């Protein structure tokens, strides 16, 4: 199942690659697509905090590999496509014992807007993007649950292609905070 999703995302990336093709060699090539790999960390859902406090337990944040492809149809609008592949189980420490639970695979999309950018020098700048997303989560029974997400990220762009980012997300559906970071390339 996870392999099929990864192949579908990679297929989509290669299928969308012609969108950034140059039609006239005299014009400057427009960068319409960003591909990056990173890490995401999901923290405790607020709905579970009361139960956790009563059981004297600690939740260990769950790490996941983040695959992110961003279509850029205009200068200020981004359409992110993301896939989170957990690299560990959800872990709870209750009364000194570690309890493991399967972490969910998620994928999603939405729309984000570039709110501002700051030029650092002639080749470097910082941008801030934010917007609503829809996250599709495979739960324990492999049912798909849809969760609305608000996400934003700061991007540091060096030259024409290299980008690094740091951001956060809040899932209103599961009431969980996440951190995301990584590097990528703009095509």
Tell me what the pLDDT averaged over the chain comes to. 82
Summarize the confidence of residues 103-128 as an average pLDDT: 94
Q: Is residue 106 part of a domain?
A: yes
Cβ neighbors of 177 (< 8 A, separation 6 or more) are 42, 43, 168, 169, 170, 171
Identify whether 153 is part of a domain: yes
Half-sphere exposure of 10 (CA within 13 A, CB side): 6
Is residue 40 in a domain?
A: yes
For the segment 33-49, the average pLDDT, to the nearest whole number, is 78
**Residue 175 belongs to domain spanning:** 2-17+32-186
Looking at residues 135-150, what average pLDDT do you find? 87
pLDDT of residue 160: 85
What pLDDT is recorded for position 20? 40
The answer to whether 95 touches 118, Cβ cutoff 8 Å, is no
Q: What is the model's pLDDT at position 150?
A: 96
CATH number, domain of 87, equals 2.40.160.20
Segment 95-124 shows an average pLDDT of 91
Give the range with max mean pLDDT: 92-106, 156-170, 171-185. 156-170
What per-residue confidence (pLDDT) applies to 149? 95
In tens, the pLDDT along 122-132 reads 999 999 999 99
Cα-based angle 145, 146, 151 (whole degrees, multiple of 5) = 130
24 lies in a domain?
no
Within a domain: 171: yes
**Which one, of 148, 183, 185, 176, lies nearest residue 41 by Cα?**
176
What's the pLDDT band for 59 if we cut at 50, 70, 90?
Answer: confident
Q: Is residue 27 domain-resident?
A: no
Q: What is the pTM of this model?
A: 0.76
- 26: in domain: no
Q: 137 in a domain, yes or no? A: yes
Identify the bridge partners of residue 137 per DSSP, sorted by sequence position: 106, 145
User: Does 91 or 3 have the greater pLDDT score?
Assistant: 91
SS3 at position 142: coil
Question: Which has the closest alpha carbon to 59: 42, 41, 44?
Answer: 44
Mean pLDDT value across residues 154-179: 92
Q: How many domains does the chain have?
A: 1
Mean pLDDT of 42-69: 73
């Amino acid at each position: 199942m996870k392999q099929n999703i990864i192949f579908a995302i990679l297929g989509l990336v290669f299928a969308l690659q012609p969108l950034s093709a140059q039609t006239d060699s005299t014009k400057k090539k427009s960068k319409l697509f960003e591909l990056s790999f990173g890490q995401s960390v999901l923290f405790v859902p607020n709905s579970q905090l009361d139960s956790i406090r009563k059981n004297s337990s600690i939740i260990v944040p769950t790490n996941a590999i983040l695959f992110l492809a961003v279509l850029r149809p205009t200068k200020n609008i981004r359409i992110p496509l993301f896939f989170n592949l957990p690299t560990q189980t959800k872990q709870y420490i209750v009364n000194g014992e570690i309890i493991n639970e399967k972490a969910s695979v998620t994928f999603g999309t939405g729309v984000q807007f570039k709110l501002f950018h700051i030029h650092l020098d002639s080749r470097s700048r910082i941008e801030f993007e934010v917007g609503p997303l829809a996250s599709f989560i495979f739960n324990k029974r492999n049912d798909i649950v849809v969760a609305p997400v608000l996400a934003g990220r700061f991007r540091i762009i060096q030259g024409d292609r290299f980008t690094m980012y740091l951001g956060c997300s809040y899932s209103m559906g599961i009431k969980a905070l996440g951190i995301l970071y990584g590097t990528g390339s703009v095509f």
